[in-house]
Structure 1
Amino acid sequence: MFNYLPPLNEHNLPYPDTIHPIVVHFVIAMVLFAFLCDIIGYFTRNPKLYEVSWWNLAFATVSIFIAVIFGQIEAGLAEPYAASVSTLNAHTVLGWSLTAILAVITGWRYVIRLQERPQLPIPYWGASVLLVALVFVQSYWGTLLVWVYGLHTIPVVDAIREGLS
């Protein structure tokens, strides 16, 4: 059965390079831009910015599922060494949690949108701030996995293949 799978390349992946970071950067940008639109919409009293925010959250919610799926595939192929395991595990758990949190906040935002409220409720603002904070924590952990631990980088993959961990 495994003979039909493509061979792993120098990044230990069956495709040219990691896909998870590419997709996840769209999610990060859309969540942060949605929050920025909410802030600007609040101060300018421009409801059109709330609509822009809603659409960014909707697309971010779809995209985060794609990001998590590729993240799981690439984490499974990473062969993490001892020093990186706790960060990878935390990043994985928060990634799945963010998927649920973002879906709930987007659903909540949809209900607010249907009610055509002129302002966003204060509890929603609190949830948005929490979402942005969690996105920053998740981004930090993802950065550690690539730039400190070097997962899926050629030197680290070569070292693991040679048995140096």
Structure 2
Amino acid sequence: MLEHFLSMNDHNLPYPDTMHPIVVHFVIAMVLFAFLCDVIGYFTRNHRLFEVSWWNMFFATISIFIAIIFGQFEAGLAKPYNVSQPVLNLHTLLGWSLSGILAAITAWRYVIRSRNPEKISVYYLAAGLILTSLIVVQVYFGDQLVWVYGLHTVPVVEAVKEGLLQ
């Protein structure tokens, strides 16, 4: 029975498909939606949108650590070849950095919410714009790993196993 759990499928994973992209898409959506709610709430003075933003940031902060755990696990199983390694290293570094940045911005948002739940500062919006920009860069690197380098795709997994990619 243990052999069944330790055996790898065609994607070189012990489970049916990659989990990292599934979890990380929730993080991306929650952070972008939170920023959108903050911007709309700031300009329309609709403070209820700030509450929506807060909860999205809260759950995104928890979810990013789950995404990183799956990402680290799956990156180790991917057996990245030489050409893909620099992009994977950048993606990993930025992912860990984003977890800290997101946690810090969420903590800041908690302080803002505790003091006055009906207002946010333009500085917080600027931090949200920077966070959004970093996420766009991170998505670019993640897309490269899948669509350019094909990590965890069947043809690339087979090529790595046969020694065609190094």
Task: Kindly state the Cα deviation for residue 133 of structure 1 after the two structures are TM-superposed.
Answer: 0.3
Q: Which runs of 5+ in 1 are unaligned?
A: none
Work out whether 1:89 is the aligned partner of 2:89: yes
In structure 1, what is the Cα distance between the partners aligned to 2:31 and 2:22? 15
Q: List 4+ stretches of structure 1 deviating above 2 A.
A: 2-5
Alignment of structure 1 residues 26-65 onto 2, 5 Å: 26-65=26-65
Summarize deviations over 1:78-135 as a string: whole Å, max 9, x none: 0011110000000000000000000000010000000015321222122111100000
Alignment partner, residue 115 of structure 1:
115
In structure 2, what is the Cα distance between the partners aligned to 1:117 and 1:158? 54
For the aligned residue pairs, the C-alpha RMSD in angstroms reads 1.3
TM (norm. structure 1) is 0.96
Task: Kindly state the Cα deviation for residue 43 of structure 1 after the two structures are TM-superposed.
Answer: 1.5
In structure 1, what is the Cα distance between the partners aligned to 2:127 and 2:43? 19
Specify the code of the residue in structure 2 equivalent to 1:84: S
Number of residue equivalences: 164
Specify the code of the residue in structure 2 equivalent to 1:94: L
Alignment of structure 1 residues 1-165 onto 2, 5 Å: 5-165=5-165
Question: What SS does the aligned partner of 1:73 have?
Answer: helix
TM (norm. structure 2) is 0.95
Q: Percent identity?
A: 65
Q: Which runs of 5+ in 2 are unaligned?
A: none
